[in-house]
Amino acid sequence: MANYCTIESLKSLLPTSITIGTASQNQPTLQVTAGRESLSEKGAREFIRLASQQVDSRLSPVYIAPLKRIKIHETELTGNVSRGGTILTVRDHGPFTVGSLLRITDTRVSDLYEVEDVGDSPSDMGKITITPAAVRDYATGYSPLVSLIEYPDPVPLICARLTVGMIIDRMFVAEQSPDVSTYGQSLRAQAGNDIDLILQGAIRLHGQEHNGSRFGRYSVFNAVKLPSFEVQPGQMGS
C-alpha cells in the first residue's frame, strides 16, 4: 500500500487554523487548543493512507495499483560528502522539496534519503539537507548522481487534496453546523476532476504500467466512460 503524498504537502493546503504535529503523537484525532485545531503526524498519515486507497480504487481500471515511484529528475553531486554528513551540494536543486525522496548513486552504491530542507538563499543555492545522515562517504571521483524519486504528477496533489478534505470534514463534524466544509468540497472536486482526466486519457501517468488484456495494452482501448452527472459524497449513482 503506497502513500502518495507527504505531511509537508498537506501543510501547504491546510488553512492556518489547522496544524499538524502539535498534538501528542499517540492522539490521531483532532484536538481543540486555544481556538486552533491540531492533528498528530500519526493521525495525518492515517488520513493519507485512506486518501491513497481512494486514488488506487479510482485508477485501478486503467493503471496497475499501487502506483510506483519513478525518477523524475537527476543532477550531479558537486561536492564530497563524508559519512554522517547531512548537506548535499548539487548542480540543480530546483525540483527538490521538503519531504521528497532522493537517491544517491555512484559507481559503487545506491542509497535512499529524505529531503529535510532545501536552500533558498543565494548563499545556499544548490544545497540540500538530508535525513538520516549519510551512511557512507560519497566522493565526486566516483561520479555520484542525486535523483529525485517520486510518484508521477498530479497523483501527489490529488492525494493531498483528498486528505485535506477528509481532515477538514472531520473538524466540521465536531465543531460546525452544517457539518460540510465548502473548502473541503472544492478540494475533493478538484481531485475528482484530475482523476477523471487521467481515466479519460487526457493526463498520462509517466512510468506507470497499464492494465491490459492477454492480447493488448489498455492504452489502445477506448477511454473509460464517466458519468455525465456529479456524484456528491454519500450519494450513489444510478
Listed as own residue / partner, the contacts of 32-40 with beta carbons closer than 8 Å and 24 or more positions apart are 32/175, 37/171, 37/175, 39/167
Whether residues 116 and 170 share a domain: the answer is no
Average pLDDT of the chain? 83
Whether residues 42 and 94 share a domain: the answer is no
Give the total number of structural domains in the chain.
Answer: 2
At 39-84, the pLDDT tens digits run: 888 999 999 999 999 999 999 989 999 999 999 999 999 999 999 9
Whether residues 97 and 160 share a domain: the answer is no
Whether residues 75 and 134 share a domain: the answer is yes
Residue 236, pLDDT score: 41
Higher pLDDT among residues 186 and 31, named by residue: 186
